[in-house]
Chains A and B, each alone.
Chain A
Amino acid sequence: MHKRRNMLKYMGAGLVLSAGLAMPAISQAADMPGVTDTEIKLGNIAPYSGPASAYSTIAKTISAYFDKVNEEGGINGRKINFLSYDDGYSPPKAVEQARKLVESDEVLLIFQSLGTPSNSAIEKYMNMKKVPQLLVATGATKFGNPKEAPWTMGWQPNYQSEGIIYGRWITSEMPDAKIAVMYQNDDFGKDVLAGLKAGLGDKAGSMIVAEASYEVAEPVVDSQVVKLKASGADVFINIATPKFAAQAIKKAHEIGWEATQIVANVSTSVAAVLTPAGLDASTGVISTGYLKDMQDPQWADDPAKKDWEAFMDKYYPDGNKASNFTVYGYSVAQTMVHILTQAGDDLTRENVLKQAASMKDVTLPLFLPGMAMNTSETDYFPIEQMQLMKFNGERWENFGEVISGEVGG
């Protein structure tokens, strides 16, 4: 009997405790959640575990960059408290973590939550709660829709923009091209394809002579490549994720298809795509980029590269300097710092969102020269420009002008 009463007591205590935890902290100003005179609380959701855990490098880089910012005095005297939680790339878990960040940790905003599924899962919640979901880590075009979801904004060039850029380049450089497209049958593949058609404009119907899609579940894409070659196309657009992109480049080389090959930006890793496909087979492949490739010797003496290296050595010594993710994380963290600095002392959610949606020609040190971020209340795509690049057998070389791929523009 005695025992039972004790247990009740503990349970009661536990409940009271948890209720207390869930109560909002009273000390902060009511209209600036997550902000005190000395601190700004930012939330983040990243896959530290599970199938996509390689991407967690981005969040780790961001965290390291905020350490640097804090050590240098913070933003207008406020230190950034970066709360990053694991969702294992699982949408239900992402919802749980987002609710934890918003309701229990009371963050100012959620920044760089990663993955199309996870961001789709929390988008409605964030907009209902009117908490900014800024600079999300996915290129899906749907995360730039100020009418339906005014609190959600992307960062990296969206997939449609990328497609538009390929389309525009082809119409200006090879107006008589016969194009064959292979695409992954999901939102990513369809987004890029839609952009490509928009970029080609009226001639899309006549220029694209063949299309073939594949499912992520398929083991190989050889038959698609063979079928596309048979169409007699002289441009092969390879909208695939790394494994399939590598297979397609290899197969096209094996069957002696002498076409101009374009591969999507997600599959430009030399280590993960071009090397397995064969460096020989990959020579001459074209893609797009927006960040400086730190392996590229042309940036060897670039002061921005030296800053980045100093940052990596001091704050993220375990990080892989050869990984694009660290360049990405560094740059996106700088964008966040820019937005918060712009907001000044008025760190309400409304004002931070307003600052995010009023970037004018903001450039970052690791952007390719000539690139800038622009947003407005009706344009929620910060980066819409890219530069083409060609693989020379060792590394990517940028060529041509920076091309704009503004959606609907």
Chain B
Amino acid sequence: MSVNTTTTGESQAAEQQGISLPAPAAATGNAKIMRTAGIILLAIGVAAPFLSGNFLIFQLTMMMIYAIAILGLNILTGINGQFSLGHGAFYAVGAYTAAIMMDQFGVGYLWTLPMAGIICFVVGFLFGLPALRLEGVYLALATFALAVVTPQLFKLTPFEHWTSGVMGIVISKPEAPFGLPLNPDQWLYFLTFAVGLVAYVCARNLVGSRTGRALMAIRDNPIAARSMGVNTALFKSLAFGVSALYTGVAGALGAIVVQYISPDSFHFALSVALVVGLVVGGVGWLPGALFGGAFIMFVPNIAEELSKGLSGAVYGVIMILMMYAIPTGLGGLLKAALGALSKRSMTR
């Protein structure tokens, strides 16, 4: 029995891991394909702002910001196996941290990013401590409550001096530094691109490290993990903290790019959207975050093009079709495709 569990756990891990775990046999070919795809994507990412109008650059920037937030959620849900319906709250905390620092203290926007990350890490870590007692749907519900409560907190009178209550905070758009020949939209795009890249590399390294393996072990079999000496309580809280850190940095970037925040910006629908992005991109597959970000950024617009009155319904239908066609998200689809490909090359 126990043998069985481990093997399914392992294969699951490998499945959800996608590229990060070296799969045995024929993996080198796959890795090559993935690396080429990555380089192409990188090249497109660098070239895009010079080829498109400012509006599209703005949309792409927002897409990457959502992708960073989803990456954070992926570390928690995909890697560590804890559900969160409340990441909109961390996004909001990050955004407010950045906005208040810039608005009240005149801090440069770049410095707000690490600060937002640190504050969200602490908030996430602290929230992770009581959440240790909760599993699965119960944890989802607790985090959901966090998402509902947080925007309300920003409206409260005691904080109004800082948050401006429902009026929100308006932020100035930063210009490109060092006289770079970029307009503000292009500059913010590259800033987000760089942050996203660093975030992705860190996430990859984390997952590939000892800590990452511990996190996955907790996901797959907490009892086994504990008996092997993993401090599950600590690691689960850490996962919460790191995940919140990512989402908080995304929130800070979002505030800078949108140039305005108010409690209404962080309706709990945002948390749900992040989960949608996570699932569509592929749970546990890190590059899927980019696809998830694209999905929650662009598909609602497509839905609106199709029917204004029923845009919500159209969005829902697209989502259902998506889940029907690729139940494991884009990550699962790619994995299956690559699997089929390598099988063919092996038989050949």
* Chain A interface residues (CB < 8 Å from chain B): 4, 8, 11, 15-16, 18-19, 21-23, 48-51, 84-86, 88-92, 95-96, 99-100, 103-104, 116-117, 120-125, 142, 185-187, 215-217
Contact A50 B269 (CB under 8 A): yes
Which of the candidate stretches B55-63, B68-76, B101-109, B320-328 sits at the interface with the other chain? B55-63
Q: Is there an interface contact between B36 and A4, defined as CB atoms closer than 8 Å?
A: yes
Binary flags per residue of B40-63, CB closer than 8 Å to A gives 1, else 0: 100010011001111110110010
Contact in complex: B304, A85 (CB < 8 Å): yes
Instruction: Return chain B residues, CB-CB under 8 Å to A104.
Output: 53, 55-56
Residues of A within 8 A of B165 (CB): 185-187
> Nearest-CB distance from A334 to chain B (Å)?
23
Contact A124 B260 (CB under 8 A): yes
Once A92-B254, A92-B265, A104-B53 are accepted as A-B contacts, the answer to whether A186 and B260 lie under 8 Å apart by CB is: no
* B258 in the interface (beta carbon within 8 A): yes
- By a beta-carbon cutoff of 8 Å, the part of chain B in contact with chain A is 33, 36-37, 40, 44, 47-48, 51-56, 58-59, 62, 152, 155-157, 165-168, 170, 172, 254, 258-262, 264-265, 267, 269, 304, 308-309, 311-312
Q: Is the CB of A117 within 8 A of B304?
A: no
Taking a contact as CB atoms under 8 Å apart, the answer to whether B261 and A103 are in contact is no
Contact B259 A125 (CB under 8 A): yes
Please name all residues of chain B whose beta carbon is closer than 8 Å to the beta carbon of A15 when the two chains form the complex: 44, 47-48, 51-52
Q: Judging by beta carbons under 8 Å apart, are B56 and A18 in contact?
A: yes
Q: Is the CB of A117 within 8 A of B262?
A: yes
Q: Which 9 A-B pairs have the closest CB atoms?
A: A22-B53, A103-B55, A121-B260, A117-B264, A19-B51, A186-B166, A91-B265, A19-B52, A92-B258
Q: Helix, strand, loop or mixed for chain A's interface? A: helix
| Sample of 20 further A-B pairs with CB below 8 A, known A104-B56, A117-B264 | A4-B36, A15-B44, A15-B52, A19-B53, A22-B53, A23-B53, A50-B269, A91-B265, A95-B260, A103-B55, A104-B53, A116-B166, A117-B168, A123-B170, A124-B259, A185-B157, A186-B155, A186-B165, A187-B167, A215-B157
What is the chain A residue whose CB lies nearest that of B153? A217
The number of inter-chain residue pairs (CB within 8 angstroms) is 115
Minimum CB–CB distance from B162 to chain A (whole Å) comes to 16
Residues from chain B with Cβ under 8 Å of A100 in the complex: 55
Of B36, B58, B152, the contact of A96 (CB 8 Å cutoff)? B58
- Expressed in whole angstroms, the minimum distance between the Cβ of A224 and any Cβ of chain B is 15
Instruction: Give chain B residues whose Cβ lies under 8 Å from the Cβ of A86.
Output: 304, 308, 311
Nearest-neighbour CB distance to chain B for A216, whole angstroms, equals 7
User: Could you give 17 example pairs across A and B, Cβ below 8 Å?
Assistant: A4-B33, A4-B36, A15-B44, A15-B48, A16-B51, A22-B52, A22-B54, A23-B53, A90-B265, A90-B267, A96-B62, A103-B54, A121-B262, A123-B170, A124-B172, A124-B260, A215-B157
